[in-house]
Amino acid sequence: MRVKEKKTRIYWLLLLPGILFITFFMLIPLFSIILKTFFNEGGSFSLEGYFKLFQSTYFQQVFVRSIKLSLISTLVCAVLGFPTSYYISKYAKNKGMLMALAVFPMFTSPVIRSFSWMVILGKKGIVNTTLVNLGLIPKPVGLLYNEFSMVVGFIQLFLPLMILSLIGVMDNISEDLNEAACSLGATRLGAFRHIVFPLSIPGLVTGSVLVFTGCLTAYTTPQLLGGTDTRVLATMIYQQAMSLGDWTQASVVAVVMIVVTIVVSSGINAASRKLNPTI
Count other C-beta atoms under 10 Å from residue 26's C-beta: 10
CB 90 within 8 A of CB 175: yes
> Which amino acid belongs to residue 92?
A
Model pLDDT, residue 278: 54
pLDDT tens-place string over residues 197-251: 888 888 999 999 999 999 999 999 999 999 888 899 999 999 998 888 888 889 9
CB 195 within 8 A of CB 181: yes
Of 158, 162, 159, 173, the closest CA to residue 203 belongs to 162
When the pLDDT of each residue in the chain is averaged and rounded to a whole number, the result is: 87
pLDDT tens-place string over residues 102-131: 888 788 888 888 899 999 998 888 899 998
CATH number for the region 48-275 comes to 1.10.3720.10
Query: Average pLDDT for residues 124-150, to the nearest whole number?
Result: 90
Model pLDDT, residue 173: 82
- Judge residue 200's burial from the number of C-beta atoms within 10 Å of its C-beta, 0-12 exposed, 13-18 middle, 19 or more buried: buried
Model pLDDT, residue 196: 83
Give the C-alpha separation, 141 to 123, whole Å. Answer: 6
Query: Average pLDDT for residues 40-50, to the nearest whole number?
Result: 81
Model pLDDT, residue 46: 84
Note the pTM of the prediction, 2 decimals.
0.87
The answer for residues whose C-beta is within 8 angstroms of residue 124's C-beta and 6 or more apart is 140
Kindly report, as residue ranges, where domains of CATH 1.10.3720.10 are found in the chain. Answer: 48-275
279: pLDDT strictly greater than 80 = no
Cα of 214 vs its chain's centroid, Å: 3
pLDDT tens-place string over residues 262-278: 898 888 878 777 766 55
Give the C-alpha separation, 138 to 69, whole Å. Answer: 29
CB 216 within 8 A of CB 260: yes
